[in-house]
Structure formats: C-alpha cells, structure tokens
Structure 1
Amino acid sequence: MSALLTGTPLADRVAVISGASSGMGAATASRLAELGAKVAVLARRKDKLEALVERIHAAGGTAMAVPVDVTGRDAVHAAAQQIAERFGQADLVFNNAGVQLVSPITDLRQDDWQRQIDLNITGVMNVIGAFVPHLTAAAEAGKSADLITTSSIAATRILEKFSVYSGTKAYISHLTRLLRVELGRKNIRVATIEPGMVDTELPDHVTDPDASKLMADLIDQIDVLQSADVAETVAFMAAVPRHVNLTEITILPTAQAI
C-alpha cells in the first residue's frame, strides 16, 4: 500500500503496540512513529523489539522496547507504568498480540487450544485492563483516545479446522462492540480490524499440514495483504478527527474469495 497519510498527524500521541516483534505489529509501530507518535512496542522477543526500535530511531522516530508476555497481568501493568514514566500515558493502543494454531477439533490439541485462549483472549484483556485508565485520562483531557484490536475475518466466517482460533476472534469482535457502549460515551474510540490473508509469520505457526498448505497456496496464488497495508489502515483510523470512530474495518485482498 502506498502511504496515504503525510506529515505528522500523530504528533503528541503516545502509541502502544502489542505483538510488535514482527508482522503487522512491527509495521504499525514503524508507521505510527513515522507519523509523529512516540511508540512503545511490546512482545516477548526482546531482540526483535530492540532491532525494531533501532530502525525507528534511525528513521528519525521515537520508540521504546518493552519486553513482556501479555498473558501475565502483573507484567502488563508494570509495562504500562514504565511507558507512562518515560512517554506519558498512552492514548493510542493497538492490541495486536495473537497466535493462530489451526487443527481439526478431533485432534484434541488441547495445549494449542489453551495457548490461543491465553494469548488471543487473556492477553488482549490484560492489555485492556492496563491501558483503559490511560485512555480514559487522555479522553478527559480532550485528546483523541483509541483502542484498536486485531480480530480476523475468521470471527464471522465458517472455516473448517479454525474452531478455537475463530472462537477467540469472535470474542474479540463482539467484546469490542460491547466496550464501545461503555467507552464510546467517554469519548474513547473502540474499534477492530478484521484482516483476511496477510503475508506474515502467523501461518507458520499452523501445525495441521492441510491448513498450512491451504494458507501457503493462497499466498502463492493471489496478491495477499502485506503488513504495511494493515499499518496504514490503523494509522488512518487513529488520524481521523476525534469525533469520528471507524468501528469495524474488514481488510481483504481483492482476490480473496474464502
């Protein structure tokens, strides 16, 4: 995607991106920093985060690495405090950490089920719990305040072998609608992005050979989304005027039919 935004429309914003060590999270961190935001990047892989921060600094942006496993509630709250001490309270949260482990339910891969629930649901909730106070304070001060969470088209489409993953994403999409009832009246914009096929490392985590082949074939056969496409979308959602909330954006490759 060619850059749609120019200048520094996100100057004076403090952005937090979870799942930022690669893919959509890393691309979004770079793009938000390019547009003027101070960016705090969260993930488990410290080396990847530090390399990302170095790239952002080299490009003239401002960023900090906060290595953290978002499945740990206390650790996420400590990260939020660390960010506030250095950059101030966050007013833009891209709640993006997640994992996709697709398999037939009859395989009984319960460890995979639990890992998806822990990261895609518990991790998302931990980030919400740690940063809603930041967003509330920002909104009360008259600033834009954004909580944008990564869901998936799998939240609504019936895809074989995606049962647990799809269930976690359906939780996120509906949770966001419910949170908007509470937080929207406080002038906090609550939204989801629901991407289709993106060329990231996420499909590499799929352990079922048939599902893995389906995704690999799709990447080979059509012009799938790139992480930069999602990053530009998130940036646009955050840059629109404060009274505008782009609540649910589905992002598909033009040629994706499933």
Structure 2
Amino acid sequence: MNTSRTALITGAASGIGAAIATRLAADGASVALLARRRDRLEKLAAEITEAGGTALAVPADVTSPDSVAEAAALVQDRFGDLDLLVNNAGLMRVVPFADGPLADWRSTIDVNVTGVITVTHAFLPALRRSAATRTTDLVNVSSLAGERINPGMAVYGASKAAVSHLTRTLRAELAPEGIRVTDLEPGMIGDTELADTFSPELQSMVDELRRTLPAVPVGEVADLVAYVINRPRHVNLPHLIIQPSKEV
C-alpha cells in the first residue's frame, strides 16, 4: 500500500470526511483537513497526530474563493503539491421543493456544486504537477440521490447529479495528464451529519430505515477510498456505488 500520499479532504470535520482522513493517515498519508469548524478539525488533527500520523487543520469555507485560495497556499506551504484530493463536503435539505426557502436551495448548490468546482480549480495545478511523477487522484463524493427520484430531495439530487456529471467530464479532460478521477456515489450511510437538519418526523423515519437496512458505516466508505487510490498507477476506477445490501 502506498504510504506516501499527500491528501486534502473536504468536509473532514465529521462523518465520511473524518473517516477517510483517519484511514488515509493510518496508512501513512499526510492529510490536510478542510472544513468550516476549526475546533472539530483541530481535535481530529490532534487525534491523528497522537496516533502517529501527520495532519493539518485547514479551516475554510468551500463556497468562498478567497477562503479556498488561502487554504491552498497553507497546504502548499506545509505539504507541497497534493497528489490526492477528496471532495466530500456536502449539505442536504429534505423537504418538498415548494416548501423549501430559496435560501436553502441556493446554499445547497453553493456547497455541493460550487464548492467542488472552487476547491478543484484551486488545487488542480498541484495535482497536475504531481501527476507528472507519481500516482495522482481526484475523488468526488457524490450520491445515489443524483440518479434516483426522491420526493423532497429535488435540489439535493440535482446538485449530486451535477457533481457526477462534472466528475465524468473531468476524467475525460484529465486522464490524458495521468490524473485518475473517481465518482463515488454512496447510498444510505450511517454516522454522518447530513440528516441533522431533518424535521423530527423525518429523522424518525430515517432512523428506522437505517435500523432496517442497516446503513453502511462510514469506515466502509473510507476503506473503499483507500482501495481506489492504491490501485496500480495505470488502473482507474471511475464510477463506484456503495450502499447497504438491502437498499434498492
């Protein structure tokens, strides 16, 4: 297993992002942790360091080009060129389209779509330099919601469909340069904070669904990312779905 990767993970303060960061650091990667919550990032960075890993807390807002540019400069100064970018930051609102405030729909697009574009654009020069000499990966965490019709998830699903399409096109553009690109679409995943904004009634339904399925632990998603990035340099896994065995 390649233990010398240099990675940035967005949405690293909790859930899937934190699990990916912890797993990659345990494998020997230097990990930059990007999210808005400084306290959570610093706590995770300290835990990784105490376990013998290398981590850097990078408080930033993926919707702000200036904030992301500052983050890119900080990561470059500390770690040099990245060879792995995991775009994982996401926001989910579940409510019928007509009932949702326009501000909620705008913020969903800002985080889920514009955030991926902004972060990728900022770190792409480093990925391109890395690809000239070593294995380099871009992994975008999308969602099965981007492929399915889920009432109450019109804007979230649309945002994730956009991420998946963007990812497929980026692969077509970047593959000739040696940058491997992967669209990862999770289904029902446990231990995430995406459902924190749900109404009590909806949260109760989701909790019951997770007990029935049950949901995939975030550690399994992290294991899958570790598998993807450790394939031989000439092998790319461009589209992956991870979901509970009973989810249809």
Report TM bin, short chain: over 0.9
> Is the Cα–Cα contact under 8 Å of residues 99 and 205 in structure 1 kept in the other structure?
no
Aligned counterparts of 1:41 and 1:10: Cα–Cα separation in 2: 19
Paired residue for 1:93? 85
Q: Does 2:140 match 1:149?
A: yes
Shift of 1:256: 1.4
CA distance in structure 1 between the partners assigned to 2:5 and 2:23 by the alignment: 13
Distance 2:62 2:223 in 1: 24
Equivalent residues of 1:21, 1:49 under 8 A apart: yes
Decide which of 58, 71, 74 is 2:63's aligned counterpart. Answer: 71
Any idea what SS the aligned residue of 2:57 has? Answer: strand
Find the partner of 1:240 among 231, 242, 246.
Answer: 231
1:10 aligned partner: 2
1-structure distance, mates of 2:41, 2:48: 11
> CA shift at 1:216, angstroms?
1.9
Question: Gapped runs of 5+ residues in structure 2?
Answer: none
SS class of match (2:185): strand
Could you tell me how far apart the structure 2 residues matched to 1:176 and 1:211 are? 31
What's the TM-score once normalised by structure 1's chain length?
A: 0.93
How far does residue 214 in structure 1 lie from its aligned partner after superposition? Answer: 3.2
Greater mean deviation of Cα atoms: 236-245 or 198-207: 198-207
**How far is the alpha carbon of 1:210 from its aligned partner?**
5.2
Q: TM-score, normalised by structure 2?
A: 0.96
RMSD: 1.1
Give me the whole-angstrom Cα distance separating, in 2, the residues matched to 1:27 and 1:198. Answer: 12
Structure 1 residue 229 corresponds to structure 2 residue 220: yes
8 Å CA contact 1:13–1:37 kept in 2: the answer is yes
Task: Identify the match of residue 170 of structure 2 among 171, 179, 183.
Answer: 179
Aligned residues: 247
Q: What is aligned with 2:49?
A: 57
Distance of 1:245 and 1:28 partners within structure 2: 19
Q: Deviations over 1:137-175 (max 9, x none)?
A: 0011x2111110110000101111110000000000011
Unmatched 5+ residue regions in structure 1? 1-8
CA deviations 1:58-115 (Å, max 9, x no partner) are 1110001000111111111111111111111111001000010111012142111011
Q: Deviations over 1:226-249 (max 9, x none)?
A: 110111111111111111111111
Q: Which amino acid aligns with 2:206?
A: M
Alignment match, 1:33: 25
1:219 has 2:210 as partner: yes
Choose which of 146, 154, 170 in structure 2 pairs with 1:163. Answer: 154
Which position in structure 1 is the counterpart of 2:131?
A: 139
> What is the identity, as a one-letter code, of the residue corresponding to 2:21?
A
Q: Percent identity?
A: 46
What is the distance in 1 between the residues matched to 2:91 and 2:198? 9
SS in 2 for 1:93: strand
